[in-house]
Amino acid sequence: MNFAGKVAVVTGAASGIGAAVAQGFAARGGTVVVADYNEQGARNQVQRITAAGGRALALRIDVTRAEDIQRMIDTAVATYGRLDLLHNNAYSFRSGPAGVWNISDEAWDHGINIGLTACFKAIRAAIPIMKSQGGGSIVNTASISGLFADVGASPYNAAKGGLINFTRTAAAEVDLASGSGDASHHHPPPRPAPALPITRWRD
Ligand SMILES: NC(=O)c1ccc[n+]([C@@H]2O[C@H](COP(=O)([O-])OP(=O)(O)OC[C@H]3O[C@@H](n4cnc5c(N)ncnc54)[C@H](O)[C@@H]3O)[C@@H](O)[C@H]2O)c1
């Protein structure tokens, strides 16, 4: 695959999965905005990409801040003239005692904001740009924890589960709005939900 002429924004690209995506995209000719709140980590990734002959820009943003999300999208377009890939990938855990009854408002809000609301806001900002260009791709890093009861991580599970179905809905809406969708395909008849295992429950 060749991404020459394509521009990507990857959140949480200073390390882990995001860093690997940024490196892979740049190695195949694309230009990457390495967006992360770890500024030094983002710079290190850019250095690594440019040393290998790629093109990248480090951008310090906090995805839980709406103004940073908008600045991230605006910077990609202002600097490189387009946006072809948005990868919503950043996440950070807040440690705390296990058990839904012990979760603070702050820990809950953090999980939902970083894992779900940030993705919504970035997608909402990116779609009009991609539509005006005639296309684009959006990737959201979810988790198996969005499908099963991963005990001790309910804000994470809720955010990732929400992200999975938000992704489905956003994709269906874009598809329908572009005229290529089939409404019956996007609204399948309801089926009984599968039983999900509740793992590692102890008390
Ligand atoms: N590693 C796994 O086993 C695994 C499994 C399933 C899903 N995931 C998901 O993959 C994604 C990446 O995880 P990873 O394992 O590469 O983790 P990681 O900790 O290596 O990378 C996360 C990056 O996000 C950045 N970040 C955190 N909070 C931020 C914020 N508010 N604003 C901007 N950047 C922020 C961090 O600085 C870091 O560079 C996450 O969404 C995670 O939930 C990971």
Name the residue at shortest CA distance from atom 7 of ligand 1. Answer: 143
Q: Looking at ligand 1, which residue's alpha carbon is closest to its atom 30?
A: 62
Q: How far, in Å, is the centroid of ligand 1 from the Cα of 13? A: 8
Task: List b or e across 7-19, with b for residues whose CB sees 16 or more CB atoms inside 10 angstroms.
Answer: bbbbbbbbeeebb
- Catalogue the active-site residues: 156
pLDDT tens digits in sequence order for the chain, 203 residues long = 899 999 999 999 999 999 999 999 999 999 999 999 999 999 999 999 999 999 999 999 999 999 999 999 999 999 999 999 999 999 999 888 889 999 999 999 999 999 999 999 999 999 999 999 999 999 999 999 999 999 999 999 999 999 999 999 999 999 999 887 665 555 554 544 444 444 443 33
pLDDT for 184 equals: 57
CB 80 within 8 A of CB 7: yes
Q: Which of 44, 86, 88, 92 should be mutated for ligand 1, with most atoms under 8 A from CB?
A: 92
pLDDT recorded at residue 180: 73
pLDDT score of 203: 33
- Would the CB of 45 count as within 6 Å of ligand 1? no
Tell me which residue of 5, 71, 81 sits closest to 37, measured CA to CA: 71
Distance in Å, CA 64 to ligand 1 centroid: 13
Closest residue by Cα to atom 4, ligand 1, is 143
Assign 3-class secondary structure to 55-108: EEEEEECCCCCHHHHHHHHHHHHHHHCCCCEEEECCCCCCCCCCCHHHCCHHHH
CA of 188 to the centre of ligand 1 (A): 33
Ligand 1 pocket member 41 (CB < 6 A): yes
How crowded is residue 91: how many other Cβ atoms within 10 Å of its Cβ?
20
Q: Would you tell me how many other CB atoms lie within 10 Å of the CB of residue 80? A: 19
CA distance 120 to 137: 14
Count of C-beta atoms within a 10 Å radius of residue 73: 22
What is the 3-state composition of the chain as percent helix, strand, coil, each rounded to the nearest 5?
50, 15, 35
pLDDT of 179 reads: 84
pLDDT for the residue 199:
45
Supply the pLDDT for residue 202.
37
Domains parsed from the chain with CATH numbers:
7-186 (3.40.50.720)
- Rounded to 5 degrees, φ, ψ at 105 are -55, -40
Residue 125: CA atoms inside 13 Å, Cβ hemisphere, count?
Answer: 25
